[in-house]
Amino acid sequence: MARILAIDYGKKRTGIAITDTLQIIASGLTTVKTHELIKFLKDYIKNEDVELFLIGEPKQMDNTPSQSEELIIPFMEKLKIEIPQIPIKRVDERFTSKMAFQTMIASGLSKKKRQNKALVDEISATIILQTYLSGL
């Protein structure tokens, strides 16, 4: 089986998570600068078999798209052109940042480490991926 790669897209940096080859375990992979994201993904799929990109879908409480969606749509269009062989699915990402922060507290990370926004993004991508895997 191929891996599933989840993306928590952000204006400045993007969290990335990946499954194992059996698609059982979601693990944080890294955080990359958003302007380097397409290059990172192209390089990654040269070495790893990826069958699906999951991209977080930010929504308001009333289920309407959040402002971040304005940045994500152009990225997805570019991704479809640059890497057309890998399909894209969306996953509701409401509360993932709060859940990531709570996960950091529960795991005993120090206050200084909890202020690392890149780590929050990576954990958020992992939560997006785990949410998807739980629904399979």
Would the pTM of this model clear 0.95, i.e. be above it?
Answer: no
Calculate the alpha carbon distances from 79 to 13, 55, 76, 109, 114 in Å: 16, 11, 5, 34, 31
Contact 133, 19 (CB under 8 A): yes
- Assign domain 3-134 to its CATH architecture: 2-Layer Sandwich (3.30)
Domain boundaries, the chain: 3-134
What pLDDT sits at residue 6? 97
What pLDDT sits at residue 101? 62
* Averaged pLDDT, 69-80: 96
Q: Is the pLDDT of residue 84 over 80?
A: yes
The overall average pLDDT reported for the chain is 89
